[in-house]
Each structure stands twice: as structure tokens, then as C-alpha cells.
Amino acid sequence: MVQSTLSRHFRLIRSPLLLLAGLGIGLIMLCVCFMLSIGLGAADVNPGEVWNAFFAFDDSTTNHLIIRTVRLPRALIAVLVGAAMAIAGAIMQGLTSNPVASPSILGVSAGSAFAVVMSTFIFSISSLSVYAWFALAGGAITAGLVYLFAALGPGGVTPLNLTLAGTVFSALLTTLTSGILIINQQTLEQVRFWLAGSLAGGDINLIQQVTPYLIIGFLIAFVLARHITTLSLGESIAKGLGQNTAWIKGLGAISVVLLVGGSVSIAGPIGFVGLIVPHLVRFVVGVDYRWILPYAAILGALILLFADICARLLIRPQELPVGLVMPLLGAPFFIYLIRTRIRR
């Protein structure tokens, strides 16, 4: 009786009209959090001055310069990275049928970070715009190696094999990255804040350089949404419905690499967004990726904006990298997943 009532309740919640309304509410909340991110920091700026910075800009006013050159790019990076990592995590979980799949757990973020550190160590590169190419290449190579080693395990590419292979590669690459930073102080000085996961230091030019990769990743993801829904029900079911699963997985992997590589290049390896957001979204919208992806994009951006605000306010006037704040939000949820979904 109770289960039947809950089932009817969630069918009502997941009606298209209410889901559209939910997207609208989410966008409103995102706009509010975006404005708070611009106004709050080491020096708080009142809403009126934020408004003037956009529509009556005066380059002789310090607060206007701070808003336009520092806080606006930072908030935009939070929105882009949060949305990209959340969608990448949702795609990985759908393609692999693995509830703990995420860019960090499957080693993609570690591969991107290792490639960036290696580029700094070998070529003395310090430009965030150049980091994007190395981050994309590192993420792609790591994703391919994780999939290859998972396929060699007993039973082929199972969720357990993917998790084990991803964990091994993530630990290996993280260790190698730490080793490079220990033996080369100059590299450490250049990337230490970025490596912790930080939204600081970006500008509009950097956003313009990385945005094309992210847009292509977003477009591929949304085009594949219906196919990922089918594939998430099981590969045999998808093949029985005539789906070319190899192509879907290949295109999905390209989308993940573009989204994760672009995000890591501008904000460093930020964990847990791609893990927790898809599960929170599925609780509301169900298993249809045509709804999961837009909801994940909004919620991922919202969570990362909120985490960045906390990072700036916790020890004000100093600030923490947002990559140190996200584990405080994500670790308890990861433990919950281990105790519930994985055990089943």
C-alpha cells in the first residue's frame, strides 16, 4: 500500500510539466547563487554596486574592476565546470552501469592533472590556455587505458572491473604527480594551488578558449541522452532494440574527455561533483537522461558555486581552494553509496 502510494507520488512529480517547472526553479536558484558569488568575498559588495558594475561600469571604481575582472570570470568558471563535471559523471554512470563512476574515481581527472604537471615539468608551461590541450590528451589516454585493463579482467568490462582499474590508475598517476612535485620545487610553485582545485586566476580570455571544447562535449551528451537511457538499462537490452552500443560508448567517451579535460585545464581536478550530482538528480527525475542531463548541469553548477562561496568565506580574508571544500560535501554521500547501492 505504501509502495503503491509512493509510486503514484513520484509519477506525479516526474510529469513533464512539473519537470519543466523544476528546471525553471533551478535556473532561478542558479541566478541567485551566481549573484551571491559575485557579491561575496574578502570584500563584500552590495547588490546595487554589482548592478552598476554591469550596466554603468566605471573603470576608476575598484569594486567595479574586481567584479568585472575577477569575480565574474570566477563565477562563470564555476558554472561551466560544475555543469561539465556533473554531466560527465552522469554519462559515465549511464554508459558503465556503475553507480560510483565519476571522472575522479575512474582516473580521468588524475590523468588530465598528470599530463598538465608533466607539461609544466618538461616544457615549463605555465599558461592555463595551453593546459587545456594536455588535460584533454591526458584524460583521453587514461580513459582508454582504464577501459582496456577493465576489459582484460574476469567478466570483461564490468562495473567492478572499471572501478578497480580506475582506482589503480588514479592512485598510480596521483603518486607520480606527487613525485614530480617533490623533486621539482619550481613545478610545485606553479601548479600547487591549481592542483588542489581552484576557480581563482581565470579570466574571460581563458573561458573563451576552453568553452568550444565544453560546448562540443555538451552537444554530444544531449544528442546521446535518449541512447544513454536505453544503454543504462543493460547492454543486451540496448542491442536488442537495435542500438549500436560501440558507437554510443565511443561518442560518450569523447564527450566525457572534452568535458573533463576542459574543466581540469581551467580549475584543476575537482572531485565529487560528477559522483554525487547524478544520484541526487535521479532521485527527482528518474532514469530518463533527457531530464537527467539538464538537471545535472544546473545542480552541478549550483553546488560548485555554493562550495566556492564557502571556500571564500570560511577563513576570510584568505580563501581555500574549492577542491578542498567539495570533499566535505561529497565524502558523506560516497559513504552512503557504498553502504546502499554497492552492497546490493
Q: What pLDDT digit, counting tens, does each position of 99-154 carry?
A: 777 787 778 888 888 988 888 888 777 666 677 788 888 888 888 888 888 888 77
- Residue 274 has, within 13 A of its CA and on its CB side, a CA count of 31
| Alpha carbon distance 83, 77 (integer Å) | 10
Cβ neighbours of residue 21 closer than 8 Å, sequence gap 6 or more: none
Tell me the pLDDT band of 4, cut-offs 50, 70 and 90. very low
Q: What pLDDT digit, counting tens, does each position of 83-101 carry?
A: 999 999 999 888 887 777 7
Do 224 and 251 form a contact (C-beta atoms < 8 A)?
Answer: yes
What are the chain's domains?
A: 30-37+73-342 (1.10.3470.10)
Cβ neighbours of residue 330 closer than 8 Å, sequence gap 6 or more: 271, 272, 273, 275, 276
Q: What pLDDT digit, counting tens, does each position of 57-69 carry?
A: 777 777 788 888 8
Which of 30, 48, 27 has its CA nearest to residue 39?
48
| Alpha carbon distance 262, 69 (integer Å) | 21
